Amino acid sequence: MDVIVVGLGAMGSAAVHQLARRGVDVLGIDRHSPPHTFGSSHGETRITRRLTLEGAEYAPLAVRSHEWWRRIEAETGASVLTACGVLNLADHAADAGAFAVHERAAAAYDIDYELLDAAALRDRFPQFRVEDTRVGLLEPGGGFVRPEAAISAQLELAERYGAQLHRGERVLAVEAAASAVTVRTDAATYTADQVVLCAGSWLAGLLDDPGLARLFGVYRQVLHWFGIEGSRQDFTPGRFPTFIWDGVSRADEYFYGFPSVDGATVKVATGQLDHRTPDPDTLDRTVAPDEAAGFHQAMISGRLPGVSARATRSQVCMYTVTPDEAFVIDRLPGRERVLVASPCSGHGFKHSAAIGEALAELVTDGATTLDLTPFAFGRFTR
């Protein structure tokens, strides 16, 4: 075996697809049967934009991923990317720095965008009730990616190109020696030249260095679907964008949402980083009814009058967050044959197809076309 990929969620499905495409003898192993609802890659939609708020170093990953989503769609017939536009609703004065990042990325990658003042926002998107100080940055080519469809399509392509996929098999240990890596599972023991760890929130449990394991904190997240009051047409993709309501002056006001994919509900959520979860397997996956009601009251009420307080469902998901909320994509220090891909911190999906390609390049060529140096372990261990 040339390579074993541990975990077949967003990152692992992209990695196994890209490796198989290059003719690498690759085995992908997942303890569940992806796509599934136990990790970080479920819930129908993920924001995608190439004008990345998180920093200019991410733009090339998103740009390349958009190219891959379209290619994956063409090769499988799946619907992965919906370019319904993505709207960042910010306080203009406070967010000037972030908009400057956008302008540089837009120029560098030829990405269309529009700036909308409060009057233009009310005219174009009357679904939002915005204050006079709010400004919008609309990227028409952004929108959302369907995580389950993206994972299924990449696993389908991986198998088409010859990858072996073992679902429902749990990796218990990864032991790296000078000449090979041994992967022990609950079913068998394998050896490979290289291993790529894409275990999402379970990554820390596979690292034998407690200092490195501590870098990956797991946080419970909750997604809510609320019913639409009034015209459902007003919330369809095309009429209503994927959006981020930035609480720049008040961080507790940050939330995001999507156009309706089922014609009846709108999905909204926020990032929750208050309580680190000690073990992803004991995460509380229940959502009390008052959690949804509290979310609606705090975030939606008064801002999206067409979105009712009636939650039709809520779902729990996990962020894996590093201390600087940036990714780790690197070889494991002291274990050159083991690669780690932990690009979560709540913003990884949009970059995942390109990260899979970069991982495959690292495995086969030892170097990547896209610059991954901002995501090295070294920034924490220096």
Tell me whether residue 365 is exposed, middle or buried, using C-beta atoms within 10 angstroms of its C-beta: 0 to 12, 13 to 18, 19 or more: exposed
Question: Contact at 8 Å (CB) between 42 and 36?
Answer: yes
User: d(Cα 52, Cα 115) in Å, to the nearest integer?
Assistant: 15
The DSSP letter of residue 229 is P
Considering the complex, state which of residue 166 and residue 296 has its C-beta at the smaller distance from ligand FAD: 166
**Closest Cα partner for 241 from 223, 222, 260, 263?**
260
CB of 230 to ligand FAD, least distance (A): 26
CB of 294 to ligand FAD, least distance (A): 17
Contact between 170 and ligand FAD per CB under 6 A: yes
Selected from 90, 171, 215, 287, the binder of ligand FAD by CB under 6 A is 171
Contact between 150 and ligand FAD per CB under 6 A: no
Contact between 295 and ligand FAD per CB under 6 A: no
DSSP bridge pairs for 283? none
| SS3 (DSSP) at 118 | helix
Contact between 41 and ligand FAD per CB under 6 A: yes
Instruction: Give exposure, 249-277, as e/b (b: 16+ Cβ within 10 Å).
Output: eeeeeebbbbbbbeeebbbbbbbeeeeeb
How many CB atoms are located within 10 Å of the residue 177 CB?
A: 10
Binding mask 251-290 for ligand FAD (x = CB under 6 A): ------------------x---------------------
Considering the complex, state which of residue 134 and residue 166 has its C-beta at the smaller distance from ligand FAD: 166
Contact between 29 and ligand FAD per CB under 6 A: yes
Can the peptide bond before residue 323 be classed as cis, meaning omega within 30 degrees of 0? no
Selected from 7, 60, 142, 143, the binder of ligand FAD by CB under 6 A is 7
Considering the complex, state which of residue 50 and residue 134 has its C-beta at the smaller distance from ligand FAD: 50
User: d(Cα 279, Cα 277) in Å, to the nearest integer?
Assistant: 6
Considering the complex, state which of residue 12 and residue 136 has its C-beta at the smaller distance from ligand FAD: 12
Reading the block at residue 329, the tokens are 């994509």
User: d(Cα 356, Cα 11) in Å, to the nearest integer?
Assistant: 6
Considering the complex, state which of residue 117 and residue 159 has its C-beta at the smaller distance from ligand FAD: 159
Contact between 349 and ligand FAD per CB under 6 A: yes
Selected from 89, 347, 354, 362, the binder of ligand FAD by CB under 6 A is 347
Binding mask 298-337 for ligand FAD (x = CB under 6 A): -------------------xxx------------------
Considering the complex, state which of residue 136 and residue 356 has its C-beta at the smaller distance from ligand FAD: 356
User: d(Cα 374, Cα 380) in Å, to the nearest integer?
Assistant: 11
Interaction site with ligand FAD (CB under 6 A): 6-12, 29-32, 34, 39-41, 46-47, 170-171, 198-200, 202, 221, 223, 269, 317-319, 343-344, 346-350
